[in-house]
Every structure is written in structure tokens, then in C-alpha cells.
Amino acid sequence: MYGRGGSQLGFGPPITPPVIKNIVIANVVVFVAQKLTQPAYGFDPVTKFGAVVPRAVWEGGRFWQPFTYMWLHADPLHILFNMFSLWMFGSVLALHWGEQRFLRYYLTCGFGAGFLIATMPYAAYFLGFAPGSVGLPTLGASGAIFGVLLAFSFTWPDRTIMLLFPPIPLKAIWLIPLLLFMEYAAGPRNVSHIGHLGGAIVGWIYLLNEGRTPGAPTLQSLAHRWKRHRMRQKLRAVKLEEERDRERWRNPNGGGRFH
């Protein structure tokens, strides 16, 4: 649930654009193919072919995997959550941007996250760190979804979102920081932190380079906001100290007890 302007709240977008329907249909078709070819043990051939595995990409030449992984999902809850998020936030974004612009952005975020998933563990492995992660498969549209959530929050930063878990109202601009905090606070899980954060970072860079989203903050603007925040904190501290000095002047004994 999110605000549609003013005090009006609505659940879901007013219209589902064809681009969103087509992405959802493509994901569902691939998911059905995964389940129809699922063996009793191990991964199905669709997942083996399309999930991104760092070693397979850089040593096996499977350079398509950073793109194909985003159309695969592990289980019904996985695809349900991703497609629900795409429908909720991607629809209004596609209506506002136009379908071609949205599709370019969605695919760029997904592929960019996939490239980071393939590259960062392998680079760590090459430098002698985390040797086991280069053989782990990653799949899911979450990298692209995080890019969509970021674009939504930059386009309508003051729009109120009612989260489902936990059920609290939240300004859209705080959505990505909250999700990343909850994800990392939960500790090690079967989640691609690189993919989620990578999708958001790639989306941010894309929006800055495109220059058509005024709400997308630059590094300079973030540094300026941080300096202003620090200055306000210092002013509050000075004001508090002055109030304490005045209180000590009015009450030199400090209000102590006498006996």
C-alpha cells in the first residue's frame, strides 16, 4: 500500500502496463519450465543453464548467465515476492516513465547486478579470499527489483508506503536503506547481498547518467547533506551546553540535598 498523492492511499497500481505483464509472464513461464524439469535431487537443467555461477562465467565461458539468472526463481514464494514487488512499484514507474525506458532500466539493473554477482566473488577468489563462493549459483529477479525500488523512491521520495512486514508507514526514500538494514541484520542467509545492493547501485548510476530523475541524489549532494547534518548536530550540542551553563548559573548548588 502506498500514497498516490495527497492523503489518498491505494493498494497496487491503477493500471498494469503491458511491459509489467510481459515480464511477469516470462518469469512464470520459466519457473514452470524449471519445475517441470526438476529431478528428484539437484538442480533442474534450466537452472543449471541459466543461474549465474562465477566460476562458470569466467572459466567456462557462460557469459549469458548474468542476464539469464534474473528470469529464474528458487521456489513459489521467491517468484511471488519478486513479481508482487514488480507489479506494485514497477507499474507506476512504467506508467510515469514510459514502457521502453522502464524496460531498459529494468534489464540494465538486472544485468548489472548479475555482472557484479559473477565478478566480485571471483575477484575475491583470485585474490585468495572466499574460495567456496565461486561455485555457488545465484538466481532471481531481486537485483532488478531493487533497482526498481530505488527508482520509485527517487521519483516519489515523500510518498508514503505501508509496509507489509513489518506493517509500518514509511517514506519511500527510506525504503532501500530499511530493506538493506533488515537484510544484513538478519545475518547470513541464502540471500545474494551482492545482487540486492548491486541492483540498487547500478540503478543509481543509471539514473545519474541519464539525468532525467531530479530526485536521484549525487555524491556531492549527499556530502552536502551530511555536512549540514553534522553542523546541525554541533549547533544542538552548543545550544544544550549553553542551557546547562544558564541552569548552573541560576542554581549554583545544583539542587543538591542538605542534611
C-alpha angle 5-11-17 in degrees, rounded to nearest 5? 85
Pair 157, 250 in one domain: no
Pair 33, 128 in one domain: yes
User: Would you give the distance in Å from CA 235 to the centre of its chain?
Assistant: 34
Pair 18, 95 in one domain: yes
Give 174 or 217, the one with higher predicted confidence: 174
Is the pTM here over 0.75, yes or no?
Answer: yes
How high is the pLDDT of residue 152? 96
How high is the pLDDT of residue 8? 47
Domain interval for residue 175: 2-210
Pair 201, 258 in one domain: no
Q: Which three cell numbers stand for residue 248?
A: 548552573
Pair 204, 223 in one domain: no
pLDDT band at residue 243 under the 50/70/90 scheme: confident
Q: SS3 of 12, please? A: coil
Number of domains composing the chain: 2
Is there a contact between 216 and 154 (Cβ–Cβ < 8 Å)? yes
